[in-house]
């Protein structure tokens, strides 16, 4: 006895019966790889909406191609709440963590950026975008 689970039909590593009598060396029925679909980018947002969490409680962000480098652009409540070059972060999780520390709101991946962001990056005109700078020190709020 090797200490490994050998299943009801023989030693470990042998072909085992799969779904509908098909055999697979690792026990996985044939054809399941074709059923795998990537998780939707905005799955977290969908779950929060379904649970009744108000959209003002969190921000969303997307990856947007900029004129020089790609950018993470966060938005919430109809305004841009943060942005930064992808090169400045170790990855999406790093952007999310730093956004949370800076704003106090979680940033969740979204499928699409805030309307107007792509055009503003393309043309350099952002007068149609709103910005949420968060709490500014009193000396800068005037």
**Residue 39 gets which letter from DSSP?**
P
Is residue 22, in this structure, part of any structural domain at all?
no
> What distances in angstroms separate CA 61 from CA 13, 46, 57, one per listed residue?
45, 14, 14
**Residue 75 gets which letter from DSSP?**
E
Listed in sequence order, the DSSP H helices in the chain are 43-50, 92-103, 117-123
Which tens digits make up the pLDDT trace of 47-79? 998 999 988 889 999 999 998 999 999 999 899
Is residue 140, in this structure, part of any structural domain at all?
no
Q: Which domain holds residue 80?
A: 58-132
Domains held by the chain: number: 1
CATH number where 97 lies: 3.30.160
Tokens found for residue 11: 């030693």
> By 3-state DSSP, what share of the chain in percent is helix, strand and coil, each rounded to 5?
30, 20, 50
Is residue 92, in this structure, part of any structural domain at all?
yes
Is residue 17, in this structure, part of any structural domain at all?
no
Is residue 42, in this structure, part of any structural domain at all?
no
Is residue 121, in this structure, part of any structural domain at all?
yes
Is residue 26, in this structure, part of any structural domain at all?
no
In terms of average pLDDT, the best of 2-6, 101-105, 136-140 is 101-105
State whether the Cα torsion 120-70-101-106 is positive or negative: positive
Taking the model in full, what pTM does it have? 0.66
């Amino acid at each position: 006895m090797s200490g490994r689970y050998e299943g009801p039909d023989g030693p470990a590593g042998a072909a085992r019966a799969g779904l509908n009598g098909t055999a697979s060396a690792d026990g996985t029925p044939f054809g399941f790889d074709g059923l795998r679909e990537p998780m939707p980018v905005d799955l977290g947002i969908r779950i929060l909406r379904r649970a009744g969490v108000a959209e003002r409680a969190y921000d969303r962000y997307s990856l947007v191609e900029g004129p020089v480098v790609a950018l993470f652009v966060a938005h919430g409540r109809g305004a841009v709440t943060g942005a930064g070059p992808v090169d400045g972060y170790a990855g999406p999780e790093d952007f999310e963590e730093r956004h949370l520390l800076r704003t106090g709101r979680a940033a969740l991946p979204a499928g699409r950026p805030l309307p107007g962001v792509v055009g503003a990056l393309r043309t350099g005109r952002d007068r149609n975008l709103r910005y949420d700078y968060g709490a500014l020190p009193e000396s800068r709020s005037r």
